[in-house]
Amino acid sequence: MKTRTTLMQPATVAFVLASAAALLAIAPLGAAGQSLPRASDGKPDLSGIWQAVNSAAWNILPHSAEAGVPGGLGVVEGDEIPYTQAAAATQRDNYANRAKLDPESQCFLPGVPRATYTGLPFQIVHTPAQVTLLYEFDHTVRNVFMNSPHPKGPIEFWMGDSRGSWDGDTLVVDVVHFNDRTWFDRAGNHHSEALHVIERYTLLNRDHINYEVTIEDPKVFTRQWKMSMPLYRRLDRDMRLLDYECVAFNEALRPDPADAR
């Protein structure tokens, strides 16, 4: 028995393809084939509580496990930070004295991009005019003002000055006006007040953001470099940011006067 194969007519094929294209135009798909949630202005809706799940808080480069430190694959493109010779020596000194020199151990604001991967959750709230990032670490609040220029410097802020814009479906945040006192991690990776950070937040689907950072600092690095990581939406029941109590390292080690009695 011969099997008859029925072929679509060219007009039918064209109609199907056109219909599919129209549907995609109405509901653009994320990387996993899901329709992206969108805010009232049509931009991707990044609102929610997010968290990086990696070991970048300890070291943004690949590193072995040691006492109190989990091993990590690293988040830096090419697994190398292009320090100048002098800056590399400073990093080694920072690492050797990290317990007392790390700004985190003194409860200072973590800086950008370190605030993203402290190991604690953070919340994004946004309108067309402003994006606000609320970090559980040290109750840090950071405002990103949309489509407006940076103020003239020199200005030195712990978290820098953040200005945002949209590149298609990606939120791009340009950050300048830093001080030189924050680190990128607990391994002593550092920068100067000339740091320039460009963050890119790309919503892949409802529950995942691709976070990419470009770092530039001519006083410390020989060229610009990048790091990237996924951010995961926290789906816990009644999820919210909780209280955070930071105790400075030297304060934690200070004897309690009551113990002397």
pLDDT at 153: 87
CA-based end-to-end distance of the chain? 102
| Amino acid letter, residue 214 | T
Cα–Cα distance measured from residue 193 to residue 158, given in angstroms and rounded to the nearest whole number = 10
Cα–Cα distance measured from residue 247 to residue 107, given in angstroms and rounded to the nearest whole number = 7
pLDDT at 16: 36
Cα–Cα distance measured from residue 47 to residue 248, given in angstroms and rounded to the nearest whole number = 32
Give domain status of residue 258, yes or no. no
Q: How confident is residue 13, by pLDDT bands cut at 50, 70 and 90?
A: very low
Cα–Cα distance measured from residue 40 to residue 126, given in angstroms and rounded to the nearest whole number = 11
Helices (H), 97-223: 98-101
Residue 130 has pLDDT above 60, yes or no: yes
Q: What is the pLDDT of residues 163-215, one digit of tens each?
A: 999 999 999 999 999 999 999 999 999 999 999 999 999 999 999 999 999 99
Give domain status of residue 12, yes or no. no
Dihedral sign from CA coordinates of 207, 158, 220, 176? positive
Give domain status of residue 15, yes or no. no
Cα–Cα distance measured from residue 148 to residue 138, given in angstroms and rounded to the nearest whole number = 27
Supply the pTM of this predicted model.
Answer: 0.83
Cα–Cα distance measured from residue 118 to residue 50, given in angstroms and rounded to the nearest whole number = 12
Dihedral sign from CA coordinates of 174, 179, 185, 191? positive
Q: Residue 99's closest CA among 68, 71, 141, 132? A: 68
Give domain status of residue 34, yes or no. no
Give domain status of residue 40, yes or no. no
Give CB contacts under 8 A, 24+ apart, made by 63-67.
63/187
* Both structure tokens of 58: 């300890």
Q: Looking at residues 84-92, what average pLDDT do you find?
A: 98
Q: What is the pLDDT of residues 225-252, one digit of tens each?
A: 999 999 999 999 999 999 998 887 555 4
Q: Residue 213's closest CA among 135, 119, 116, 128? A: 116
Total tally of structural domains belonging to the chain: 1
Give φ, ψ of 23 to 5 degrees: -65, -40
Higher pLDDT among residues 2 and 102, named by residue = 102
Give domain status of residue 217, yes or no. yes
Give domain status of residue 96, yes or no. yes
Does a cis peptide bond (omega within 30 degrees of 0) precede residue 255? no
Cα–Cα distance measured from residue 221 to residue 171, given in angstroms and rounded to the nearest whole number = 26
* Both structure tokens of 161: 């000055």
Does a cis peptide bond (omega within 30 degrees of 0) precede residue 113? yes
Give domain status of residue 178, yes or no. yes
3-state secondary structure at position 227: strand
Residue 71 has pLDDT above 60, yes or no: yes
pLDDT at 52: 98
Cα–Cα distance measured from residue 241 to residue 138, given in angstroms and rounded to the nearest whole number = 11
Give φ, ψ of 17 to 5 degrees: -65, -40
Phi-psi region of 138 (alpha: psi -120 to 50; beta: other; left: phi over 0): left
- Domain enclosing residue 174, as ranges: 48-253
